[in-house]
């Protein structure tokens, strides 16, 4: 991407407003003219100007021709959603497109499918400007918390229905994950550094949920009669560990983030102790538990690193931020 920059002098417009001029060639590139609406954001010490439509949001369209399988079509639909496209015209076999969209419709908030003569239009009506990423991350954390609760309860009760509930919760996690990535990609210009940290957190929460999903499937295939208590105790520690990491990020709690990072090696070694339990016939389940548990530990540590980055930026900001109400009162 080519970056252009110029110097402009700040000028006074009327008694209470000031302004700057923009080169006409820039506006031509962006298809912005007199009377069009632009969004102006104050990001730290940087002013960002972004063109929007009169309706108040950016409209992105893409046309994709497909001749592949349902799986390929499904991935293309998901990728188009995450990339922030509002209108996705898909040209291909309608039966395949229908099956692909039906398989992911519940995971893509605000999406609907409209069939035309020669193509299918997938429209997304989600307003990302109304999405609070902190709330989304908090909801993802609550879902992960519920997944751990049900999985641990299964280990202690042997009620297989609890494993099915874990799998259902993973579908809810995917829904929030796709919404979060779409929101981050469309609004990252407001605060690029924060966008990177948010991406790390939502991806790692989703990966942790996938780990519990895989572990649940493993226990559904093999009935464990031994070492359930030992596995439960180890995963309880992992559960506490990752939740501490997530809330260190959400609450900007640097002390908890540090505890997570300092405890990483102990947690990884603790999971390895399952290998020495001597559980007959359960080597596959023990290996899966060790692998997924250590993976979640590593994901938690990444989240704690993001919490440190967020904390550093928060203390580097000015002690007093000019509010939007104050700025508006000067106009």
On whether residue 327 sits in a domain, the answer given is no
Q: Where are the beta strands (DSSP E) in 168-263?
A: none
On whether residue 321 sits in a domain, the answer given is no
- In the prediction, which pLDDT does 54 show? 41
Residue 99 or 321, more confident: 99
Average pLDDT rounded to a whole number, residues 29-38: 79
On whether residue 2 sits in a domain, the answer given is no
Q: Is 151 in the same domain as 293?
A: yes
Q: Is 238 in the same domain as 259?
A: yes
* CATH code for position 238: 1.20.58.220
Q: Is 94 in the same domain as 209?
A: no
Segment among 39-48, 57-66, 83-92 with least mean pLDDT: 39-48
On whether residue 329 sits in a domain, the answer given is no
pLDDT for residue 129 is more than 90: no
- In the prediction, which pLDDT does 116 show? 85
Q: Is 101 in the same domain as 222?
A: no
Residue 44 or 111, more confident: 111
DSSP state of 130: G
On whether residue 324 sits in a domain, the answer given is no
pLDDT for residue 281 is more than 70: no
- In the prediction, which pLDDT does 35 show? 78
Last residue of a domain, one of 126, 150, 166: 126
pLDDT for residue 331 is more than 50: no
Q: What does 37-76 look like in DSSP terms, one character per residue? A: -EEEEEETTEEEEEE--TTSS---EEEEE--S-HHHHHHH
Last residue of a domain, one of 126, 145, 167: 126
Q: Is 118 in the same domain as 227?
A: no
Averaged confidence pLDDT in the chain:
87
* CATH code for position 118: 3.30.1370.110
Last residue of a domain, one of 72, 101, 126: 126
53: Cα separation from own chain's centroid:
26
Q: Is 233 in the same domain as 279?
A: yes
Q: Work out the percent of the chain whose per-residue pLDDT is above 70.
A: 88
Characterise 284 by phi-psi region: left (phi > 0), alpha (psi -120 to 50), beta (else).
Answer: alpha
Collapsing DSSP to helix, strand or coil, 50 comes out as strand
Q: Where are the beta strands (DSSP E) in 170-294?
A: none
Report the number of distinct structural domains present in the chain: 3
On whether residue 331 sits in a domain, the answer given is no
On whether residue 221 sits in a domain, the answer given is yes
Q: Is 77 in the same domain as 214?
A: no
- What is the band of 119 on the pLDDT scale with cuts at 50, 70, 90? confident
Q: Is 146 in the same domain as 116?
A: no
pLDDT, tens digit, for every residue of 183-230?
999 888 788 899 999 999 999 999 999 999 999 999 998 776 678 888
User: 63 near 89, Cβ under 8 Å?
Assistant: yes
pLDDT for residue 71 is more than 60: yes
Measured on CA atoms in the order 309, 311, 315, 321, is the torsion positive or negative? Answer: positive
On whether residue 240 sits in a domain, the answer given is yes
pLDDT, tens digit, for every residue of 287-319?
899 999 999 999 999 999 999 999 998 887 554
Q: Is 169 in the same domain as 295?
A: yes
* CATH code for position 47: 2.10.260
Residue located via tokens 């208590």: 229
User: 303 near 246, Cβ under 8 Å?
Assistant: yes
User: 43 near 191, Cβ under 8 Å?
Assistant: yes
Containing domain of residue 111, as a range? 61-126
Residue 285 or 234, more confident: 234
- Which of the residue ranges 32-46, 68-82, 305-319 has the most confident prediction, judged by mean pLDDT? 68-82
Collapsing DSSP to helix, strand or coil, 54 comes out as coil
Q: Is 77 in the same domain as 30?
A: no
- What is the band of 6 on the pLDDT scale with cuts at 50, 70, 90? confident
Q: Is 69 in the same domain as 15?
A: no
Task: For residue 278, give both structure tokens.
Answer: 């001597």
Q: Work out the percent of the chain whose per-residue pLDDT is above 90.
A: 58
Residue 143: Cβ-neighbour burial (10 angstroms; 0-12, 13-18, 19+) = buried
Q: Is 207 in the same domain as 184?
A: yes
- Which of the residue ranges 83-97, 118-132, 237-251, 317-331 has the most confident prediction, judged by mean pLDDT? 237-251
């Amino acid at each position: 991407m080519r970056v252009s920059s110029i110097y402009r002098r700040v000028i006074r417009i009327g008694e209470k407003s000031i302004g700057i001029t923009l080169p006409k060639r820039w506006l031509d590139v962006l298809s912005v003219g007199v009377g069009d609406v632009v969004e102006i954001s104050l990001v730290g010490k940087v002013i960002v100007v972004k063109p929007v439509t009169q309706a108040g949001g950016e409209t992105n369209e893409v046309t994709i021709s497909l001749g592949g399988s349902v799986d390929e079509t499904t991935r293309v639909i998901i990728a188009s959603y995450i990339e922030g496209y509002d209108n996705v015209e898909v040209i291909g076999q309608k039966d395949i497109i229908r099956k692909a969209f039906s398989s992911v419709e519940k995971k893509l908030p605000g999406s609907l499918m409209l069939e035309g003569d020669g193509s299918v239009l997938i429209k997304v009506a989600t307003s990302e400007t109304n999405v609070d990423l902190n709330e989304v991350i908090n909801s993802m954390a609550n879902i992960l918390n519920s997944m751990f609760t049900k999985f641990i309860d299964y280990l202690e009760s042997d009620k297989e229905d609890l494993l099915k509930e874990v799998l259902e919760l993973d579908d809810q996690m995917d829904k929030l994950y796709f919404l979060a990535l779409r929101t981050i990609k469309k609004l990252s210009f407001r605060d690029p550094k924060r966008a990177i940290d948010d991406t790390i957190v939502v991806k790692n929460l989703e990966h942790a949920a996938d780990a519990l999903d895989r572990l649940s499937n493993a226990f559904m295939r093999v009935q464990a009669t031994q070492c359930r208590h030992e596995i439960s105790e180890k995963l309880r520690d992992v559960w506490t560990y990752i939740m501490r990491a997530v809330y260190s990020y959400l609450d900007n709690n640097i002390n908890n983030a540090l505890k997570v990072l300092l405890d990483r090696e102990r947690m990884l070694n603790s999971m390895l102790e399952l290998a020495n339990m001597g559980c007959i016939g359960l080597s596959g389940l023990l290996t899966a538990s060790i692998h997924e548990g250590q993976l979640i530990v590593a994901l938690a540590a990444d989240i704690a690193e993001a919490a440190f980055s967020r904390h550093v930026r928060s203390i580097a900001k000015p002690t007093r931020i000019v509010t939007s109400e104050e700025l508006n009162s000067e106009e």
